[in-house]
């Protein structure tokens, strides 16, 4: 599962990019070590995606270089699976006081990996990278899950696409320290955007604020709501 090739060894790469801090920093680092890097964005019909995608496109403009290939937007709707889930309706979105488990999207990594690996196989891209961090509590973020998923998808098409997780031993604070000089104001982490901005009140906005604070990095994010200090 680990990338056996040293940086700059010459293989093409797709980066599964959500527009959040972790995946955009991974993308920006990858264009320095690979000759061709394809950002993959998978659109599922979640409430934050229109704003997230707009931010992502702006971020890509800011880091444009010959190695960065055009953004690929793939559709994978989940309305028939998730029904009235908060991620589709915007009702009862986990707030800043909620636990991490509250934002779990069932089967999310399974769906994302199957779609992105098949895209890589069909376009002869050697590997797909995800910005999964160390300490991720979800069942679809374990090493065994990624290994088995890689094997099953490849077996289904006789492929050889590798799944890379270069950040799997790092924390969000460590990732943010690596990307502090990037245009992070054009990353997007919110699950309940307000007027095209980070809401400032959801679980992901709270996580974002904590990461900037812990990394000692100035947060240039525009939030619709400031945190309660009472």
Mean pLDDT of the chain: 92
Is residue 8's pLDDT more than 70? Answer: no
Closest CA to 182 of 58, 34, 9, 41: 58
pLDDT tens-digit series, residues 166-196: 999 999 999 999 999 999 999 999 999 999 9
CATH number of 13-215: 3.40.50.620
Closest CA to 131 of 93, 182, 169: 169
Task: Please compute the mean of the pLDDT values over residues 97-116 and round it to a whole number.
Answer: 93
pLDDT tens-digit series, residues 63-88: 999 999 999 999 999 999 999 999 99
**140: enclosing H helix or E strand:** none
What radius of gyration, in Å, describes the C-alpha atoms of the chain? 17
pLDDT tens-digit series, residues 16-45: 999 999 999 999 999 999 999 999 999 999
Q: What is the spatial distance between Cα 135 and Cα 170, in angstroms, rounded to a whole number?
A: 8
pLDDT tens-digit series, residues 130-141: 999 988 778 888
Domain ranges of the chain: 13-215
Closest CA to 74 of 11, 117, 126, 12: 117
Q: What is the spatial distance between Cα 79 and Cα 108, in angstroms, rounded to a whole number?
A: 13
Q: Model pTM?
A: 0.91
């Amino acid at each position: 599962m680990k990338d056996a090739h040293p940086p700059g060894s010459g293989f093409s790469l797709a980066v599964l990019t959500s527009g959040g801090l972790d995946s955009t920093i991974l993308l920006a680092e990858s264009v320095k070590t690979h000759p061709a890097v394809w950002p993959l964005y998978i659109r599922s019909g979640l409430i934050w995606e229109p704003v997230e995608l707009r931010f992502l496109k702006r971020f890509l403009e800011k880091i444009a270089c010959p190695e960065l290939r055009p953004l690929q937007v793939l559709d994978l709707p989940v309305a028939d699976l998730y029904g009235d889930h908060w991620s589709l309706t915007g009702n009862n979105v986990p707030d800043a006081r909620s636990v991490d488990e509250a934002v779990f999207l069932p089967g999310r990594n399974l769906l994302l990996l199957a779609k992105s690996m098949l895209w890589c196989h069909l376009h002869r891209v050697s590997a797909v990278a995800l910005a999964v961090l160390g300490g991720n509590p979800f069942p679809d973020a374990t090493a065994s899950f990624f290994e088995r998923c890689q094997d099953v998808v490849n077996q289904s098409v006789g492929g050889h696409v590798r799944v890379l997780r270069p950040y799997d031993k790092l924390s969000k604070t460590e990732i943010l320290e690596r990307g502090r000089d990037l245009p992070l104001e054009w990353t997007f982490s919110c699950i309940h955007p307000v007027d095209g901005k980070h809401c400032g009140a959801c679980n992901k906005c709270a996580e974002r604020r904590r990461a900037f604070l812990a990394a000692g990095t100035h947060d240039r994010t525009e939030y619709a709501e400031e945190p309660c200090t009472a």
